[in-house]
Amino acid sequence: MIPVPPLPRVRVIDLETAGNGPYDVCEIGWQDVVRDPHGRWRVGEERGARFINPGRPISPDTMAIHHILDAQVVDAPFWKAAAPQVLRPAGGVLALAAHRAAFEQRFCRPALTGSAAWICTWKCALRVWPHLPRFSNQMLRYQRHPEGLVHALGLPAHRALPDAYVTAHHLRDLLNAASLEELLAWSREPGLLPRVPAGEHRGKPWTDLPDAALRTLAADRDQDVRFSAATELRRRGDAPPLPRAGPAQQSLL
């Protein structure tokens, strides 16, 4: 038989960690989103999860989130050995994706991913569904009720495979609403918040703010706030510099 080439895919990644060190991953989960011959995106069949030995005890703070025990990872491979098999699968990927991808990118360095491009589903959700009140992975799940999402497969939350599975349904819908190129471009920028997240003008759309308030927020410590305020000022004809995306994504939306 002639082998059938794999469908073009974006691989969603989710990590659970033992702490904040560069190799502190204790679980990786993945779920592919594939493009069919008609150009539509769907959640694929390829998914999985793997324990990783972080090389040190899991901290109580992180254990209380994901409930992974030291005894479960003691015989697992180390991060540098296990990661490339998941991040660089046979047949390749068009991109990797994660919700608030800056976190995964701290551990999935270019040397492990083959310098793959990344999609941040959080940043893209801000653009495609700005009317929604909240943008966490689980809030999007229950606000949107994505078609085909099997409730049990998305549980327990805060484990790598269930979270990747949920994120993949958001990614599928984002890819069917905007192009891959748009999602990649939005993911390279800070998050474009639909509303002011805190302070005197909390909850207001940027279009409702006076110029003086926008200029103050365009100097905020939070890069997403700076970017969002500067974007509105530029729309009005002002031209403050737009901040580049950095590793932190602190906004609470």
Last residue of a domain, one of 173, 188, 203: 188
pLDDT at residue 252 tops 80 = no
In this structure, are 157 and 219 located in the same domain?
no
Backbone angles phi, psi at 237, to 5 degrees: 105, -10
pLDDT at residue 244 tops 90 = no
In this structure, are 36 and 139 located in the same domain?
yes
Percent of the chain at pLDDT exceeding 70:
94
In this structure, are 166 and 58 located in the same domain?
yes
Q: In which residue are the tokens 């602190």 written?
A: 250
Average confidence score pLDDT of the chain = 94
- Give Cα 29 to chain centroid, integer Å: 13
Residue 232 within a domain: yes
Tell me the mean pLDDT in the region 72-76.
Answer: 97
Q: Is the peptide bond before 197 cis (omega within 30 degrees of 0)?
A: no
Tell me the mean pLDDT in the region 225-250.
Answer: 80
pLDDT at residue 247 tops 70 = no
In this structure, are 194 and 181 located in the same domain?
no
Cβ proximity of 5 and 141 under 8 Å: no
Tell me the mean pLDDT in the region 229-234.
Answer: 95
pLDDT recorded at residue 253: 56
Residue 118 within a domain: yes
In this structure, are 39 and 153 located in the same domain?
yes
Structural domain boundaries enclosing 138? 9-188
pLDDT at residue 240 tops 80 = no
In this structure, are 174 and 229 located in the same domain?
no
